[in-house]
Structure 1
Amino acid sequence: MLGIAIAATVAAVITVPAAGLLGYRQLRRTAHAKRLRITSPHGIEESGFVRIGGIDQWVTIRGEDRRNPVILELHGGPGASNLIFASRTRAWERHFTVVRWDMRGAGKTFARGGPDGQGAMSLPRLERDALEVTQHIRARLGVDKVVLLGCSFGSFVGLRLARNHPELYCAYVGTDQNINAGGRDHTAYRALLDRLGAADKRKELAAVTTMGADRTAWGVEDWSRYNKHSVGSDPLTFDTIKTVVVGSLLSSPLHSLRELPAYTKAMSFSERVAPESSTIDEWAEGTTFAIPFFIFQGERDVITPPEPVRRFFDDVTAPVKNLALIQDASHFASFRHPDRFLDLMLTKVRPLLTGQPITW
């Protein structure tokens, strides 16, 4: 749901003179490529297209030891691949095998087939795709269950999988967690109005006020406008988009220069799925989970605020549950502070999976 805001930031950044930008990009890509090499004897480093849901979808598997627990990451957006963050999360791969999947309408999957090659775009379709990817991972890595990591928009899919398929997953971890209440919760909307009012942004305030608080009545353009104002009205979120998201995109050694336009086009294309999420009521879908349940959220997240997350978390019944707030973090908390996120994964999640004390 942040596609327009990210695309606008990319456009602003690339106004830097081309020669200087390309030179800087090459230096960063070279350094990141060196850091990403996996040479350990039990390691795995695979990437390629897998036939999922009738189309070719990009799947990357990385880790220093195949014996480690496996994480399936469900990225956000919609349409915003997390593959660009590989160098930022390199340390995760010492303790987990990390599977990153470019969903239909995202990243390399979108670049492969283009707008006409993505097939049906809906939340149920993404959920079915995720189940196929899960089965592919289980077969490829020889594991019974994997950890679900739901990020932002991907957390809608993640919660449904965690509720309905405990036989496939050993834990659920949500970050930038979306919690919708069937249109009843207006926490983020009211906070945006307050920020715009305090900054005397009268034009923007009028536009958001006209949209109204009922997200179920919004169209795709309304979602784009709302998220653009949300990012622009919060300095920490804007800085995160600029330095963490756009910085990672421009310096990713896993993406060629020709792939960069497709990355932002994918987000614009996939925004058509966003309105579908507004009708979800997580309480109605269920607060009982048969697997350990964790949420690690940015303390200052204005896109998916901690308040609704905490209300849902308090109502969750699970074998084990834990909620932690990451300080000095807004949206994209796990990528702004990947070391803090890893510490939470190692102290809260991994011991449950291995039955062993933490080893660094």
Structure 2
Amino acid sequence: MNGSTRRSLTLGLGAALAAAAAGRAGAGQAADEAPVDARKVIADVQALPGGIDELKAVEINGLKQWIHVRGADRRNPILLFIHGGPGSPMMPEAWSWERPWEDLFTMVQWDQRGAGKTYASAGGLGPQPLTVDLMLSDAKAVVAYLRQTYGREKIFVLGHSWGSLLGLMLAHAIPDQLYAYIGVGQAVSGRLNEEVGYRETLEAARRKGDQAAIKALEAIAPYPGAGPLDLEKLVAERQWDVALGGMRYGQDHAPEMPIWSLSPDYTEADLATASKGELESVMALAPQLPAVDLRSIVDYRCPIFFFAGVDDRTTPTSVVERYFTSLRAPKKRLFVMEHAAHYVVDEAPGLVLLDLAREVRPLAP
């Protein structure tokens, strides 16, 4: 879940979007002319003449799953983005930040099993029960598909939030297929992430003197506890995490749905089912996450890069920093970003891209 309506692609596009959102024509437009189609404007601005732009469903482990492959130069290395959630696709909001990245990488957005367009086209989660192992198998299959279809020996993988668990497991399992792994909002241990995130969110509420937040958070203690993850408590913790700026820096709400509604990649049918897919994915996978603990895996045979927001309390930066010191890799680097929380790629997309251009992109020929 990310994106920001603050960042327009151009001043002209910003005016067009504002006009469309207001239900009227753009500045200087005659009253009898048709209203601006904001999705078409975005698609036109982001056209890639001579590049690659493929939105398609491909068969992954017996289920048609949607990917969008975009890049300004077909010779650029592939970067697969594994989105978070579970069930929260990046594809419908990537238009708000991704275009400059497409000058350096061939970007691949993948709607996982149970998410976005894949959930919509499958009419649900698919025939198999959602498990962490199945999702990891899907991720491996997507990497294999991209390497075979586009003739690449290796690719880059970027995992965000829930997707960072899959991404780090990929880096350990198939290092010879990756130029590097990039973790953003990196999760390390399902239970530890929840324990520290809850504690830091409660501390933030106390510093702010927010009595409503303090009362609500204290009411769910102990969280997450020793047993299975309680989904009602999870929702309560996340509500205050968002409200106190631990999800998006300086914001107390989640703006993704308005951004999704402007995506050229999503139909109305996709939008209508996206939230349902996320809910069902969370219900299926969240109870399994406390058992996922990667702290014992410290040896990697591909380069590892982490990007963390100073204010991230969803996958707490304090946890990532401790884990980073313990891991061993041919090359490793931790970037801690000011004025950012959990969604670093769209909170500071230019700074992240600058670091990728300097440190990561040169690893590919």
The TM-score, its normalising length taken from structure 2, stands at: 0.84
Aligned residues, how many? 334
Paired residues of 1:196 and 1:204 also in contact (CA < 8 A): no
Structure 1 counterpart of 2:135, which letter? L
> Which residue of the other structure, out of 283, 290, 294, is the alignment partner of 1:278?
290
Counterpart amino acid of 1:199? D
With over 3 angstroms needed to count, the CA separation of the structure-2 counterparts of 1:166 and 1:235, relative to structure 1, is: closer
Structure 1 pair 102–20 and aligned structure 2 pair: CA distance change class (3 A):
closer
| CA distance in structure 2 between the partners assigned to 1:310 and 1:121 by the alignment | 30
8 Å Cα contact 1:57/1:109 also seen in 2: yes
In structure 1, how many angstroms separate the alpha carbons of the residues matched to 2:226 and 2:272?
29
Partner of 2:80: 72
Change (3 A) 1:52 1:228: same
| Counterpart-to-counterpart distance in 1, 2:138 and 2:310 | 31
Deviations 1:21-62 (A, max 9, x none): 66699654233212221102xx11111111111111001111
Q: Distance in 1 between matches of 2:266 and 2:295?
A: 39
Distance 1:259 1:44 in 2: 23
Query: Is the 2:43–2:264 contact (alpha carbons within 8 Å) kept by the matching residues of 1?
Result: yes
Q: Which of these residues, 37, 41, 46, is aligned with residue 31 of structure 1?
A: 41
Indicate whether 1:161 and 2:170 are aligned. Answer: yes
Residue aligning to 1:186? 195
Distance 1:345-1:118 versus aligned 2 partners, 3 A rule: farther
What is the identity percentage for the equivalent residue pairs of Structure 1 and Structure 2?
A: 30
Q: 1:173 to 1:252 in 2, by over 3 A?
A: same
Q: For 1:111 and 1:234, how far apart are their aligned partners in 2?
A: 31
Check conservation: 1:231, 1:238, Cα contact below 8 A: no
- In the alignment, is the contact (CA less than 8 A) between 2:244 and 2:252 conserved in 1? no
Matched, 1:63 2:75: no
Structure 1 residues 70-117: Cα deviation after superposition (integer angstroms, max 9, x where no partner): 111110000011102332211101100011111000010001112263
2: distance between equivalents of 1:334 and 1:52? 27
**2:90 maps to amino acid:** N
1:137 matched to which residue of 2? 146
**Aligned 1:2-151 pairs, distance under 5 A:** 28-40=38-50, 43-87=51-95, 88-115=97-124, 117=126, 119-151=128-160
- Kept in 1, the 8 Å contact 2:245–2:341? The answer is no
Judge conservation of contact 2:307–2:334 (CA < 8 Å) in 1: yes
**1:237 aligns to what SS in structure 2?**
coil
Q: Which residue matches 2:326?
A: 315
User: Any residues of structure 2 matched to 1:201-350 within 5 Å, and which?
Assistant: 201=212, 202-209=214-221, 211-214=222-225, 216-234=227-245, 237=248, 242=253, 245-272=256-283, 273-284=285-296, 286-350=297-361
**What is the identity, as a one-letter code, of the residue corresponding to 1:81?**
P
Contact 2:79 2:155 in 1 (8 A): yes
Shift in CA distance, 340/135, structure 1 to aligned 2, threshold 3 Å: same
Alignment partner of 1:297: what SS?
strand
1:182 Cα deviation from its structure 2 partner: 5.2
Where structure 1 has 5 or more consecutive residues not aligned to the other structure, the ranges are: 4-18, 355-360
Kept in 2: contact 1:105–1:118 (CA 8 A): no
**Are the counterparts in 2 of residues 244 and 336 from structure 1 also a CA contact under 8 Å?**
no
Determine the C-alpha separation between the residues in 1 that align with 2:132 and 2:22: 37
Greater fraction of residues in helix: 1
Helix, strand or coil at the partner of 1:73: strand
> What is the rounded CA distance, in whole Å, between the counterparts of 1:236 and 1:135 in structure 2?
32
Q: 1:221 Cα deviation (Å)?
A: 2.7
| Residues in 2 aligned to 1:240 and 1:29: alpha-carbon distance in whole angstroms | 25
CA distance in 2, matches of 1:231, 1:150: 21
Contact persistence 1:162–1:291 (CA under 8 A)? yes
Distance 1:247 1:36, change over 3 A: same
- Cα deviations across residues 185-238 of structure 1 (Å, max 9, x unaligned)? 7321111222334311154133332x5342653223332222122112327727
Q: CA RMSD in A?
A: 2.5
Contact 1:104 1:118 in 2 (8 A): no
**Cα distance change, pair 53–134 in 1 and its aligned pair in 2 (3 A):** same
- Over 3 Å counting, the alpha-carbon distance change for 1:167 and 1:22 in structure 2 is farther
Q: Partner residue of 1:8?
A: none
Q: Give distance in 2, aligned partners of 1:78 and 1:199.
A: 29
Instruction: Give the whole-Å Cα distance in 2 for the aligned partners of 1:26 and 1:162.
Output: 44
Return the TM-score normalized by structure 1: 0.85
Query: Hey, what does 2:31 align to over in structure 1?
Result: none
Query: Cα distance 1:257–1:141, how it changes in 2: closer, same or farther (>3 A)?
Result: same
Q: Partner amino acid for 2:320? A: V
Indicate the SS of the match to 1:264. helix
